Chains A and B, each alone.
Chain A
Amino acid sequence: MAYTPYPQIEHLLRRAGFGARADELDTYRQDLFATAVGRLLNYGSIPDDVDQKIGAPGYVGITTAGQFSPRTVITDARQRWLFRMVHTNRPLQEKMTLFWHNHFATAYGKLAGQLGTEEATRYLAAKPSEDPGGVRGQIELFREYALGNFRDLLVEVSKDTAMLYWLDGYLNTRTRPQENFGREIMELFTFGVGNYTESDVYAAARVFTGWNVTRVGNAADGSARLQFNYNAGQHDTGEKTFSFAIYANGSKTIPARAAAGGMQDGLDLIDGLCAHPETPRYLGRKLYRFFISEVGDVPESFLARVSATFRESRYDMRAVMRDVLLSREFWDERNYFTRFSWPVEYVVHSLKDIGWNGFSLREALTPLSNMGQNLFDPPDVAGWDLGRGWFSTGSMLARMNFVSALAANQRFNLATAAATRAQNPESLLAFVQEALKTPPLDPTVTGAMIEYLNASGPWTGSAAQLQAKVPGIVHLVASTPEYQFL
Chain B
Amino acid sequence: MKVTRRQFVKGGVAAFTVSFAAPEFLSEVALAQGATSRNLVVLYLSGGNDALSTLIPYADPFYYSRRPTIAVPAGNVLQVGTDSSRVVLGLHPRLTGLKQIFDRGNLALIQRTGYPNQSRSHFLGTDIWSSASPSNPAGTGWVGRYLDTLPTPVDPLIGWNTTRDLPRVLMSNKVAVPAIPNPATYALASPNTGADAQAARVAAMRISSHVPVDRPDLAFVYGNAAAAMATLDRVATVSQYRSTLTYPNSGLGQALRAVAGAMVRGVGTRVFYVTTGGYDTHAAQNPNQVNGSYTNLMGTLNDALLAFYQDLLNQGLLGDTLVLSFSEFGRRISENGSNGTDHGAASVMLALGGRINGGLYGTAPNLNMDPQNPTLENNAGDVRFETDFRSVYARVIDQWLGADSVGILGGNFRNDRLTFV
Contacts and interface: CB of A to CB of B under 8 A. Distances in A.
Contact of A388 (B185, B195, B220): B220
B224 A391 contact: yes
Interface in B331-390: 336-338, 340, 342-343, 378
Interface string A386-416: 0111111111110011001101100100000
A472 B200 contact: yes
Contacts of B150: none
B206 A392 contact: no
Nearest to B216: A295
Given A178-B337, A405-B189, A442 B212 contact: yes
Contacts of B338: 168, 171-172, 176, 178
Contacts of A468: 192, 196
B243 interface: no
Interface stretch (A12-20, A116-124, A243-251, A475-483): A475-483
Contact of B203 (A193, A371, A476): A476
Contact of B200 (A382, A390, A393, A476): A476
B225 interface: yes
Interface residues of A, number: 67
Interface in A134-159: none
Contacts of A395: 164-165, 179, 224
Interface stretch (B37-45, B116-124, B400-408): B116-124
Contacts of B282: 168, 171, 178-180
Interface in B231-261: 231
Contacts of A401: 187-189
B191 A382 contact: no
A168 B283 CA distance: 7
A219 B165 CA distance: 43
B165 A484 contact: no
A174 to B, nearest CB: 9
A4 interface: no
Interface string B54-68: 000000000000000
A126 to B, nearest CB: 24
Interface string A370-392: 11100000001110010111111
Interface in B44-95: 46
Nearest to B46: A380
B277 to A, nearest CB: 8
B222 interface: yes
A418 to B, nearest CB: 14
A444 interface: yes
Interface stretch (A87-95, A319-327, A447-455): A447-455
Contacts of B336: 171, 176-179
A266 interface: no
Contacts of B203: 448-449, 451-452, 455, 476
B192 A389 contact: no
Contacts of A183: 120-121, 343
B199 A455 contact: yes
Contacts of B192: 408, 468, 471-472
A79 interface: no
B210 interface: yes
Contacts of B14: none
A475 B191 contact: yes
A400 B204 contact: yes
A221 to B, nearest CB: 31
Contacts of B166: 388-389, 391-392
A389 B121 CA distance: 19
A396 B179 CA distance: 9
Contacts of B164: 370-372, 392, 394-395
B290 to A, nearest CB: 16
Interface string B89-126: 00000000000000000000000000000011111100
Contact of B228 (A179, A387, A397): A397
Contacts of A388: 166, 217, 220
Interface string B192-210: 1001100110111011011
B218 A404 contact: no
Nearest to B170: A392
B209 to A, nearest CB: 8
A295 B190 CA distance: 32
B68 to A, nearest CB: 11
Contact of A393 (B122, B179, B210): B179
Nearest to A448: B206
B86 to A, nearest CB: 32
A411 B282 CA distance: 51
A397 B217 contact: no
11 contacts: A171-B282, A173-B337, A178-B337, A178-B340, A389-B165, A393-B186, A393-B224, A407-B191, A452-B199, A476-B200, A481-B221
Given A172-B338, A178-B336, A393-B179, 5 more contacts: A370-B185, A393-B231, A394-B228, A451-B206, A481-B218
Per CB-CB distance, the 6 closest pairs between chain A and chain B, nearest first, are A176-B337, A392-B179, A171-B338, A455-B199, A481-B221, A393-B178
